[in-house]
Structures are given as structure tokens and as C-alpha cells.
Structure 1
Amino acid sequence: MPHLATRFCLVRHGETDWNAERRLQGQLDIPLNAQGQRQARQLADAVAAAGHRFDALYSSPLRRAFDTAVPLAHAVGLPLATDAALMERHFGAMQGARLDEAARTHPAAWAAYSERSLQHDLYGGESIQAFADRIHGAVRQLANTHRGQRVLLVAHGGVLDMIYRLASGQPLQGQRMIVVPNASLNWLSFDGERWQVDLWADTRHLGETALDEI
């Protein structure tokens, strides 16, 4: 029997002060700033105006994602479920580091981060391989749970990048090939065998340029 296609709409959380400062947030629980709160409202209004229908809504429990998802829950009339498997990568010693200072303040961790070493945990964090395995397992589980349904998922730039790599076949070692703006809409589908990227980095609802992933 053919697998009914599952459609995902992936959302990156709204802007935080640390995004604007170009700091790695990782699993530190940084709140939305005023701009991020506006983006969350704009996003919810746009989803409601477009009449998008979803069967389930999931969010990372980190509050920048959760607080982006709350207006969406009201807009689509669904309960909001949190899933710790959707949290951002733990960047170990790099969490909180500014990208323009990290080579000086955390030289060894920065080298592993920049080289995209698949097995390096950045001194107490999560390796790229472990992060990818966690995210791929989570999204495959959701695809199986919601066969033939439409799932709205609010998470983080790194999480969306890992799902994009799964759908597109981009290797983990390669530098990111796509942008992941704050509060963007990103659509993928899974037919039980193959993933497909349908539309990526849609920010038309924001009426402005959103920051790419930090």
C-alpha cells in the first residue's frame, strides 16, 4: 500500500538579541526580542490569512521557538506540543560566543566548528553527527505518526538546516547552502521513501529582511 505523503511546514523562531549580536545560542534559553515578537505575530497573521490547514503543531521547548509557536497555535486552532528532540544543537564551549570573537576566545572549538568536524562535540556539546541523528530521527518519527497529514513545526536554524540536508541529500560535511531566515516558512514533503523540498525561505509575510541563521 503506498505511503500517503506527509507535508511539513518548518518555521524558524523569531529574532532574538543574540541573533542580532551574532552570538551562538545553542541550547541556552534566549527570549525573543521586540522584533522577534512582531515577526511571530506577522507570521501567525499570514498563516491565518492564507487559510493554511494543519493537523498537528510541534515546537522546540526553548522559549524563542515556543513563543513563536504560541500565536501560530491560536491562528491554526491546534494544541501546541513540545518535543525536546527539536532543540537546537548544543554548541558546548561555543555557546554564547560571538562569531567575530570566537577564533580568539575559543580557538580549538572554533577550529572544529569551522571545519565542520562531524565527531567533535565542541568540548561538552553535541557533535554534528549526533545532532543530525537526533533531528533525522525526530522528523522521521513525526512523518510516520502523521502519515498523509500536514505538520507545522517550529524550531531553530540548525534544526531546519539538518532537515533540509535530509530532504536534499546535502552531505553533513558541506557548508550550508541555504539561508534560514527568522520566522520564515519552509515546506517539505515525504512520501514514505523520498523527501522533497517544495518551497524554502519564504519571508514575504514579514515585509522586511529577516536575519539568516546564527
Structure 2
Amino acid sequence: MNSFPPVYVLRHGETEWNLTGRLQGRFDSALTPEGIVQSRMQRDILRRHELAGFAAISSPQGRALETARIALEGVIDPIATDPALSEIGLGDWAGEDRAALIARTGACDGFALYELAPGGEGFAALRSRCERFLRGLEGPSVLITHGITSRMIRLILTGRPTAELRRIDGGQGVVFRVAGGRQERLTIGG
């Protein structure tokens, strides 16, 4: 397994499209009031940790960058952006209703849609993109990204195969600390 610096990984807060079940991919929608609260919770979590010397790197997509601005306010400055942290590409299905696509395609779940999407990026390409990004990290970092990209990054950091994507924790309003190949889920209460 590669040796990576310690990282904290955040998924953006809830968006309007998360709430209505629309797939976003490279599209964007605004944070909901709950998404703003979740981003503030992430800030409260991060403030309890020593982050001197940590870089902050966010996906340039609006929902992630807004989450980064809220979650890192008074914690880390400046916030860099890197397109490698963007969400997995959904091709022709970006903006579509998740439940309707599952019904139409017979996909076993929402995760399967990322592999089936016409013109989509797929998991193998996403993993390659995330591996390149992680190999280029120059030191400890706080990464603000998206649901599927966050899971892939944490799979790589913990030395797990892509097949475990469905099984690795996810969530909004939490922070994952990964160091030495081990992941820890950090919450307000823990």
C-alpha cells in the first residue's frame, strides 16, 4: 500500500438535488438550509483537531466550494481547488431522477447507475483520477469533495478495492480522518 499523508475528507452538505433525488455528477445545485447546518457541523468537528500545517483543497464545483467556505471558516485559509476532486461524471444521466433511472434500467441500486451511465466516467477512471491526485499530495490535507469521489478516495487511502464502494461509510455533516491506512468517522457527538 502507498504511504499517504494524513487527510480529513468531507462531503458537501445536502443540496436541493440530493433532497429531490436528482443525480448531480458535474452539474450543480445549491445547498439546502440543512446542507448549511451540516457544513457548520463539519466546522465544529474540524475545530476540535490540530490542523496546523494542513492544506485545504476543494472540488471547484459550487456545492463543494460553498461547503468548504463554511466548514473551514476560521480553521484553514486559503482554500485551493482541484478538478480532480470533482464528482464522478454521469454523462447523459446528469440531472436525471435517480429512482426513475433505476426503474427504467433495472439497476440494482443507485451505485450501479454510475457504471451504466452513457458517456459517464465509470469507477475505474474515477479511481485512476483519485490515485493520481493522492500521489500528488504534498502533505497533510483537508479535502472537500462529493459522495462517490469521497468514497473512492477513502477506499484508496485504506487500501481497499473498488468493489467495496457500497460498503464504505458515507454521509453529510461528518468528517472522515484517514491516516496510516485507517479511517475514522468523526461526528459532533464523537
Do Structure 1 and Structure 2 share a fold, with TM-score over 0.5? yes
**1:43 and 2:27 correspond:** no
Offset from partner CA, 1:85-108 (integer Å, 9 cap, x none): 100001112212222211344x28
| Segment drifting more, 131-140 vs 16-25 | 16-25
Q: 1:158 aligns with which of 127, 143, 148?
A: 148
Q: 2:170 aligns with which of 171, 180, 183?
A: 180
Aligned 8 A contact 1:59 1:66 in 2:
yes
Within 1, Cα distance between the matches of 2:49 and 2:163? 38
3-state DSSP of counterpart to 2:183: strand
Q: 1:138 aligns with which of 133, 141, 150?
A: 133
Within 2, Cα distance between the matches of 1:141 and 1:171? 20
| Segment drifting more, 68-77 vs 6-15 | 68-77
Determine the structure 2 residue equivalent to 1:125: 120
Aligned 8 A contact 1:12 1:65 in 2:
yes
Aligned 8 A contact 1:10 1:186 in 2:
yes
Q: AA paired with 2:20?
A: E
Determine the structure 2 residue equivalent to 1:204: 188
**1:67 and 2:52 correspond:** no
Runs of 4+ aligned residues of structure 1 deviating over 3 Å after TM superposition are 110-113
Number of aligned pairs?
187
Deviation at 1:184, TM superposition (A): 1.3
Q: Provide closer, same or farther for how the CA distance between residues 5 and 37 of structure 1 changes in structure 2, counting only shifts above 3 A.
A: same
- Please report the TM-score for the alignment, with normalisation by the length of structure 2: 0.85
Higher gyration radius (CA)? 1
Aligned 8 A contact 1:187 1:198 in 2:
yes
Deviation at 1:123, TM superposition (A): 1.6
Aligned 8 A contact 1:24 1:95 in 2:
yes
Q: Which runs of 5+ in 1 are unaligned?
A: 191-195, 208-214
3-state DSSP of counterpart to 2:60: coil
Q: AA paired with 1:65?
A: A
Within 2, Cα distance between the matches of 1:18 and 1:199? 28
Q: AA paired with 1:185?
A: V
Tell me how large the CA RMSD over aligned residues is. 2.7
Q: Which runs of 5+ in 2 are unaligned?
A: none
Deviation at 1:154, TM superposition (A): 0.5
- Please report the TM-score for the alignment, with normalisation by the length of structure 1: 0.76
Determine the structure 2 residue equivalent to 1:53: 51
Aligned-residue identity in percent: 28
